[in-house]
Structure formats: C-alpha cells, structure tokens
C-alpha cells in the first residue's frame, strides 16, 4: 500500500500525519508513505524581483517549514517515509501526484471551516475530494 500525506504546515496537518503514521503501524505490511507539500507559486513580479535562485530558496524554505511538524510526528512514531515538495495549485498537484504515483490513499487534514465558507474561499480538501480518483481520508 502507498499513502500520500498532504501537509501545509498547520497543526491539523500534523494531526493528519500522526493519524496516517498510526494507521501505518497498525498494518501487517508497512505501507510506503510520502509526505507532500505543495507551495503556491509566487506572483510574476515578486519572482522577477528575487530571481530564479531566490524563488528556489523561497520554496525550499516554505516546504521545510511546512513539513517540520509532520516530519517530527512520523519520526516519533518510527515510521519510514519519503518527502516531496512541489510548486503549483495545491489541490491539482495533490490529485496529480496521487494518480501518477499510484497511491492507494491520500491523507489530509481539514480545518473544518464549514461548507458555507468553503464555497467562497475554496478549500483544497474539497477540491481534492471532488477530483481525486484515489480514496481520501480527511482528518479533523
């Protein structure tokens, strides 16, 4: 089994990673886990201002920060995992990664802001749920 754990640096993402780690420990055959962070691209003007290396550094620092808590939670559980950082639309990249990597499950945290606010703000979880062909486990 292969599990993709999507994280954004929030406390709920750490909770989702912890839940996925516990789920992995409960399985007879340990699954392959991928900790994934998708960073939003910079606006063109900002990217032009800081240059290619500045943009790369910016995304690396964001990914490092966003994965820090989830990484620590999985390490405490002594669960093996890999990490990947991407740049782009969060929901789209999660769905694409799950499909291309032939994952069996996507694990994500939800902030629980409710359906009404999601209609206006757009929720990555809502978009992944509606577009993913891979089952999605939402942790709250």
| C-alpha separations of 16 from 49, 50, 138 in Å | 36, 34, 8
Q: At what angle do helices 90-100 and 124-131 cross, to 10 degrees?
A: 40
- H or E, element range at 3: strand 2-6
Helix (H, G, I), strand (E, B) or coil at 125: helix
Whether the model pTM is above 0.95: no
Tell me the domain boundaries of the chain.
9-139
Please state which CATH class domain 9-139 belongs to. Answer: alpha beta
Asked if 124 and 36 count as a contact pair (C-beta separation under 8 A), the reply is no
pLDDT score, position 120: 45
> In this structure, what are the phi and psi dihedrals at residue 35, rounded to the nearest 5 degrees?
-90, 120
User: Among 121, 33, 132, which Cα is nearest to 81's?
Assistant: 33
pLDDT score, position 111: 76
Reading the block at residue 38, the tokens are 């998708």
Each residue's pLDDT, cut to its tens digit, for the chain (140 residues) gives 999 999 999 999 999 999 999 999 999 999 999 999 999 999 999 999 999 999 999 999 999 999 999 999 999 999 999 999 999 999 999 999 999 999 999 999 987 665 555 554 458 999 999 999 999 999 98
CA distance 46 to 98: 30
pLDDT score, position 118: 53
β-sheet bridge partners, residue 34: 4, 82
User: Among 73, 86, 63, which Cα is nearest to 21's?
Assistant: 73
Reading the block at residue 53, the tokens are 């290396």
Asked if 43 and 72 count as a contact pair (C-beta separation under 8 A), the reply is no
């Amino acid at each position: 089994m292969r599990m993709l754990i999507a994280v954004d640096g929030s406390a709920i993402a750490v909770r989702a990673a912890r839940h996925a780690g516990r789920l992995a420990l409960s399985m007879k055959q340990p699954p392959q886990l991928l900790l994934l962070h998708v960073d939003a691209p910079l606006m063109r003007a900002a990217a032009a201002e800081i240059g290619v290396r500045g943009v790369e550094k910016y995304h690396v620092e964001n990914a490092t920060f966003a994965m820090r808590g989830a990484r620590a939670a999985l390490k405490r559980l002594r669960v093996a995992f890999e990490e990947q950082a991407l740049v782009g639309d969060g929901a789209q990249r999660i769905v694409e990664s799950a499909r291309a990597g032939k994952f069996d499950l996507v694990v994500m945290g939800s902030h629980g802001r409710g359906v009404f606010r999601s209609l206006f703000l757009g929720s990555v979880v809502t978009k992944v749920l509606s577009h993913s062909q891979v089952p999605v486990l939402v942790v709250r």
